[in-house]
């Protein structure tokens, strides 16, 4: 059940917490280019990425975050072997990924903008 609607005319200026795979699908379909962080609670590196993701979102990149433990099929669907994993989506499809732990803001922004 989708609890959130997204508006392509008003991209979010902060990371959007996505509840499940349905929200993820709606989110990446709404915007042309999207960066999604797959994280888990208790992941120190994931927590340290929060201010970086906020900065990237303020720069105009559409950013979503999702905990794949809340929707286990996402782990296999997006091949999440470690967290944080950042997946860039274009036109609703995953096109690139980074799974290298902490990623500095400039590097993450450049990755997100392709």
Show which residues are catalytic.
43, 46
Alpha helices in 1-114 (DSSP H): 21-30, 44-58, 73-77, 105-112
In angstroms, the CA 36 to CA 89 distance is: 8
Among 87, 101, 98, smallest CA distance to 34 is for 87
């Amino acid at each position: 059940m989708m609890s959130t609607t997204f508006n392509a005319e008003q991209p979010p200026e902060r990371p959007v917490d996505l509840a499940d795979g349905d929200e993820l699908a709606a989110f990446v379909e709404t915007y042309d280019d999207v960066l999604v962080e797959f994280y888990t609670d208790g992941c120190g590196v994931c927590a340290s990425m929060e201010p970086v993701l906020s900065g990237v979102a303020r720069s105009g990149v559409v950013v979503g975050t999702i905990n794949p433990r809340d929707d286990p099929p996402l782990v296999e669907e997006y091949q999440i072997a470690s967290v944080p994993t950042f997946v860039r989506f274009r036109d609703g499809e995953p096109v690139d990924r980074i799974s290298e732990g902490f990623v500095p803001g400039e590097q993450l922004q450049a990755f997100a903008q392709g």
